[in-house]
Every structure is written in C-alpha cells, then in structure tokens.
Amino acid sequence: MIMITWLLLVSLFCKSAQDGQENGVLHCGPQNLTFSNSDQVIQLIWEDDPSCSAVHDILTYELSVLIADTQVHYDEVAVTPDQIGSTHFWIWTSHLALECAALSVRLSSRYKNQKSPWKQEQIAPVTSEKIQIYPEDRVFKVGSRVTFYCVLPAGQVFDKMYLTGYNTADMNITKISNQTYELNVYLNQASKNSCTDVKCHTTTSRYGACAYVDYPPDDKDLQCETQNLESIDCHWNTGRNTFLPKLSTAYWLLGSPCPHGYSGICSTKAQVDVGERNWTLTVVNKLGRLELSDRADMTKRVHMFAPEQVTTSAVNARNASLEWRWTVQQYNDLNITCQLNVSYDGTSTITEKAGVGLKLAVLNDLIPDWDYHVTLRCGTTHLWKWSDWSARVNFHTKGDVPDALDVWMQMKENQIIIIWKMLLASQSHGAITDYAVTWVETTEPEQQNRTTVAPKEHQVALNLDTTKEYVVTVIARNKNGNSSHSIVTTPCFSSGISRVNTSRITVSNGSFSLSWSASPKASGGYVVDWCPTSGRCSVEWLRVPPHETNATIFSKNFKEGLRYSLSVYACTQGAPVLLERREGYVKEERIEDGLFKTLKGKQQDSDFEISWDPISLNEQTAFIQGYVLYWSDYKNNNTVCNVSTGNPEATSLTARNLKISSYTFTVKAQTAVGECGTTLITATLNSPTDKLIKTVFISLVTVFSLLSLLTVVCYRQWACIHQKVYPPVPKPVLTDEWLASPGVHRCRPLCVDESHQSEAENMDVPELQCKSGATVNNYLSQANMPFVFAQTSKGYYNQPLKSLGNNSPAWDLSFWRGHL
C-alpha cells in the first residue's frame, strides 16, 4: 500500500514537470517585429522567440487586419520545426488605401490550442485640410475592377465622385464614414493622352487625382533573320500604343537590352550556325511580362544586302551583259537567285538568274536602238526575303534592220492599194529611209516591177489588171539594212471575191465581236479588215492565228453613228479568200430630222402616194428597218392615221381612202433607236370630177393653141411651103451650035420657056453627062466623047468633058440638082 502511494506521487510529480514545460512553450511568440507599407501593400517581418526552439511540432502564427476596429482580413502562417529560428514574412494587399482609415495588424502564435498574447502594429489615417483621393498616380490594367477612396476634411459634406469618360452606370459609390467614401468602377478603357481623372466633389470644393489605365505587353509576331551572317536582326509587331509616362516598356533580345524596342526592331551579335534554335524576346512593363520566341535556322533566313556597283560590260543590238559586287564576303559561297527588272518605254519585265555567288547576268531579246533601265535584287536559294533593289543602271542598245512589215491590200475602183502598218519606234530600230515595193504577175514571174515609197507614207496605189493575180513584196529600209520581205498576193477581183452575203454584226462595249466557221484553206490564219461602208477610207485589219475563229475588233478610229463593213479572209498559200462580210454600227444613233430630201406626193383617186429617193448610207446613222407614214386632217388634228412597211428598200407609201381635205403627211424611218428622220409634207386632195374637168379644159386649150400656132406658121411660110411641095420643073435649053451639027453623037437642045420662069425659079440644073454608046433622050455624042449640059443665063449648052481614059468612054447623066 505504501509502495502504491509512492508510485502515484512520483507519477504526479513527473506529470506536473511535463505540464510546466508545455506551459513554457506558450510563451513562444514573435519578436523583432518590423512593419512596413507601400501604397496598399503591407509587409510584416518577424523572428521566433528563443523559447520556440523547444517546439517539435508545427507552430502557427495568426494575423488579423482591422480597419476602424473591424476585422477585415484573417490569415495564418504555419512554421515547421525546421523553420523555427528563421525570419518570417507576410505580405497583404489592402483593398482600401492605407491612408483612408486607421488600420492595425495583430500577430500571435498558437500551439496546441494555446495562444501567445497579441502584438499589434497600427497605421494612423492621414489628416488634411483638403480633399484627398486614394490611390493616386497608380497604374491599373484594363479590365480590372478598382476602388477609389475620397477622404474629406472635417466639416465638409460629400457631393459626388466619378471618373472622367465613364458612365454612372459603370460606377458604384459607397459611404464608409462621414469623411470617407469609396468609388468602385470597372476599368474598361485605356487612359487617353495622359491619365484618367478621378474627381471628388463636396458642397464647397472639389479635388482630382490621376489614374493610369493601360494594357500589359501584347507584342506579337516575332521574326528574326540575318544579313551579314554575324548578327541577328529581329522585328515584331508592337502592342497597343501608350502615351502614359508611368508605363514604360523594356525589351530584351537573347538577354541583351533593346534600346529602341518600342519601334519593333532589335539586333544583337550572335553566332549563326546550321540548325534550328529559339530566338527569344522579353517584354516587361508594370502590368505584366511577355516572352516571344521564334524558332528558326538562320542559315535559311538570310536577308541579303542589295548588289553594289552595278555596271554594263557589253551592249549589243539585242543583248547586254550586267555585272555587280557583294559587300559581304560570305555571299560568294551562297546559292543566289537574282531578279532583274528591265524597264523601257513605260513598261517593265522581270527575269531571274541563279548561281553560286552570282554576280554576272546577260540580258537577251532586247530591242535594238532603244533605251533601257535595269535594277536587280537577290536572295538565297531558300528565298527567305529579297534584298532591296540596287541602284539603277541605264544603257542604249545598238541599231539593227527593221522588223518585217504587216502588209495588206485594198481594192479601190480599178486600183489595188497596197497598205502596211507603220512601224513603231521599237520595230524600226532606227529611222526608216524608205520602202521598196515590188510586184510580179503570177503567170509571168520574170517581169518584175519596182517602186519606192517615201518613209512617211504607208501605202501605194498600183494600176494593175484586176482580173489577174499579182505577188506584191514590201520591205522597209534604214541605215542598218533591209527588213525581211512581207508578201501579199492580190486576188483576181473579177472572180467574184465579193460575192458573199452580208450580215449584221453584234456590238459589245464599243467593239465588234466576230466568230466564223473554220476554213481548211486558212493555212496562214485569218485576216479581219474593216472600214466605213460608204465614202473613201483607209482599211484597218487584224491578223488571227489559224486555230482561232473569233475576234473582238476595237479601234480608236471608231465613230458612233457610222456604219462599218467588216470582212473575214482566209490566208492561203496564194491569194486570200473572202469568207464572210458583216456590217454594223459601234453605236446606232438617231437619224436627224429632214431625212427625206425629195419627198413628193401624188393623188390617185381617193389615195395619196408619198414617195422619196433612196436614202444614202451617209445619212443612215442607224439601220433602217422600215418606214411609217402618218397623216392627219386639218379639220381634225386629233385623229392621226398611219401605214408602215418593213422593207428598208421601199421608196413610197400610200394613204388610202382619204376624204377631200387638206392633210399633213409625216414620214419617219424605223430604227433600233426608235422612229427618226421626221420629214413633213402638206397636200390638199381634190374630187375626181374637178380633176376630169380640169383635164378636159387643159386638153382643149392645148389643141386650140397648137392649131393656132400651125395656122400662123403656114400663113407666113406659104411661099416656101409651095416651093417645097410643088417645085417648078425647068426645061433644058440647047445652044445653036449644038443644034447646027446634027449627027449621031449630038444631043438635041432643050428649049426652056423663059416666060414661065420667075427670078426665084432660076435654079442650078444638074449636069448631064453622057457615056459612049449610050443614048440620052435618043441623043448620042460625037466620036463617043462625053459632054455635059451646062446652064447659062439663057438656057443650057453642051460642054465637052475631058477624056475618061483609054476605055470606051461612058457618059453619065446627072439628074436635076436644085432646091426642092
């Protein structure tokens, strides 16, 4: 029993000793407490009491934040046994500006439900005689929710609080105390110009503070490259522009600062090796940090410098050599591709050349006697980027013979016009001195003809037999020589070359669209020529390849309201063959009024016919599809009748069954643009009885006038008429000598009774010639000698004639000559 009691006493003593040790741990707590604050951030630093070294379990520190004696935050810091004896930190950010109200922080330790006494640090509120706004001059991120506080001096009454540029719906005002108010707002926009104003008004005064609202770094699209293969050049798209002095942004490329990073470029020295690696850009501002990376093999991202010292080493008529140098020695070992931009006369072409360390190129297919300008740029085979363009080099090619002419022909009346297109400056290769034209008949090739044409002319008229075929050759000449021969064969125009139907052509956007059937004869393609349908013109033409059977014809010489004829020819080994012929207008226009120049009217009983002369093509500014005749009675102008015809060749229209009255007749041409060419004529219709009376009266007057005229003429010319109708017959008178020697060869005298002759009847009488052996009124001449009867003032006598020759003379009898 005594032993048991002793054991109990010993146990109680040991327990009492252990509890005393544990009660000693309760005295373990913080020491060397340091309290600091910045803006709205509170930092607390402390150490463990030396007695805490006996703790072999977790020691907990409790922290409590009080504002105006009200706990607003509670926190715990757990310290493990191995951390006991070290310095402990605690940081907390207050939602309330520390200057706005009395704020205190309490700290104590806890171990197994035992706590040490509280140790407290306090921040006294700022007192001022004017309004204060917190936080002030702080930087905030767009999209955050922020609380601003307005602290009023004692005695002032709060009126309102707001942010400039924000709606009241986005803001919420809460009263904390009589002197403190808070404004809670969602920042949905960045500050403009300098900062966003926070305003606080009382009934007697007002105050403002700045808040800087912006974005964290948002740069993107980093790309790096190298130009000299010894450094890296990176560029990127910078983020949103900021004008806030409180928000400067810093850049580092591969750990090296970028002084001008805000411009989106940065360079740094780096070893360029084959293979990919990450190239990193770091961007930092007060609102955040951003890292951009570009993974690439820099040997495949060579952005070359532009070629230097570009020159031409050899220039010929149709080619030239170009040379240049590289400023980076390593370029000589790279596979390089260069683009050469060759420009001339407002146009440019780009050609590519490639090679290792390329620094020479030859330009081919140049135009002789022409000015050229060349620049070039280069890149590696991987073609990451082209270099900048080099400086421009200029040169002029040498001259050459002209290009071959484009020759065609045109038939005008009885002439064949050989025409060619004038060579452009890029085709003549020098000033043209003249043109040489030769022609030869296909059936007589040895008879060649030649003519020379002045350089300003582009055609020549040949007076050839149009029923035959000719081969015509034209060449152009300059100081460098002759062009190639251009040959055209003129067809036999009498063989019906124009005997093809003419159809109308469609028009689209001021040009003619043609299509035709393919011809097996067109070994040399096709030619489409055109000119105005009427009047003198110079033909234009277009050549079409053999595999094409359509063309769009446009010419700067086209005029609206003018009809054009277009012909399609097949180019054969010989003369061209006409396939089709079309007519059309680029644009049909209304025909001017007064189209019918010779409008005439004719009444036929109760009908009235209006006629006109055929309309010339020069006056047709649109296709005439027909004509229409309108008429109206003077007594009833409101009634208009009409008759029409769809025949464009018609030259008359008849208005039928008209009443006796005066009418106005109007003739118009029908076209695709409407009725036009209006021409008027007025006429009065007479009754058929009036017309008959008028006809009979005119006939009687005409007959009477003719009879009267005939009577007067016959009276005045009666003597002449009597002389003509009944002329007196003269009697022959023979001389005495002729009568005194009668014989076989004598003719008896003719006696004329002069008593019956008047002076007017004394006329020439035909001579009478006798032939040997012939009897004239039973008389013969002596010795077979011919004689004549000659008229004298008293009659007729016989006169011997000269011998008629050795043959037996015959004598002729000339019958009476006179005025009948």
Query: 498-585, which class in CATH?
Result: mainly beta
Question: Do 498-585 and 308-396 fall under one CATH topology?
Answer: yes
Q: How many helices (H) and strands (E) does the chain have?
A: 5, 55
The highest-level CATH class for domain 132-214 is mainly beta
pLDDT score recorded for residue 741: 46
- What span, in angstroms and rounded, lies between the C-alpha atoms of 64 and 578? 111
Looking at residue 674, its amino acid is G
Sheet holding 145-151, edge to edge: 132-134, 145-151, 180-186, 171-175
pLDDT value, residue 754: 41
CATH superfamily of 23-123: Immunoglobulins (2.60.40.10)
Look at residue 101 in the predicted model and tell me its pLDDT. Answer: 73
- CA dist 472 and 415 (Å) reads 14
Residues 659 and 684: their CA atoms lie apart, in Å, by 10
Q: Give buried/exposed letters for 503-534 (b at 16+ CB in 10 A, else e).
A: eebebeeeebebebeebeebeeebbbbbbbbe
Question: SS3 breakdown of the chain: % helix, strand, coil, rounded to 5?
Answer: 15, 45, 40
Q: Which CATH superfamily is domain 407-494 in?
A: Immunoglobulins (2.60.40.10)
pLDDT score at 606: 86
Phi, psi dihedrals of residue 98, rounded to the nearest 5°: -65, -20
Mean pLDDT by 10 residues, the chain (820 residues): 44 40 61 83 88 86 85 90 88 79 86 86 78 87 90 89 87 87 90 87 91 90 92 91 74 92 91 89 90 92 94 92 93 93 92 93 93 95 91 94 94 87 91 95 87 94 89 95 94 66 86 92 94 87 94 92 94 92 93 91 89 91 93 78 91 90 91 93 78 76 88 80 71 53 43 40 41 41 42 43 41 37
Give dist(CA 329, CA 652) in Å, integer: 94
Strand partners, 114: 111
What one-character-per-residue DSSP string does 715-754 give?
Answer: HHTHHHHHHHHS---PPP---HHHHHS-STT--PPPP--G
Phi, psi dihedral angles at 81 (to 5 degrees): -55, -35
Q: Tokens standing for 205?
A: 């005064």
502-504 and 577-585 strand pairing: parallel
List phi, psi (to 5°) of 25.
-60, -35
Q: Which residue has the tokens 């040379």?
A: 323
Q: What percent of the chain lies above the pLDDT cut of 70?
A: 83
> What values do phi and psi take at 257, rounded to 5?
-65, 150
Instruction: Measure the CA–CA gap between 43 and 65, rounded to whole angstroms.
Output: 12
Closest CA relative to residue 798, chosen from 763, 768, 766: 768
Rounded Cα distance, 643 and 653, in Å: 7
Going by C-alpha positions, the residue among 706, 818, 815 that lies closest to residue 757 is 818
Domain 220-300 in CATH: superfamily?
A: Immunoglobulins (2.60.40.10)
Task: Assign domain 600-685 to its CATH architecture.
Answer: Sandwich (2.60)
Single-letter amino acid code for the residue at 819: H
DSSP H or E segment with residue 387:
none
pLDDT at 740: 46
592-621: per-residue pLDDT in tens?
999 998 899 988 888 899 999 999 988 999
pLDDT tens-digit profile of 76-105? 999 888 888 889 989 988 877 777 777 889
pTM of this prediction? 0.53
Compute φ and ψ for 246, nearest 5 degrees: -80, -5
Looking at residue 120, its pLDDT comes to 87
Fold classified for 308-396:
Immunoglobulin-like (2.60.40)
Q: Where exactly are the structural domains of the chain?
A: 23-123, 132-214, 220-300, 308-396, 407-494, 498-585, 600-685, 726-820
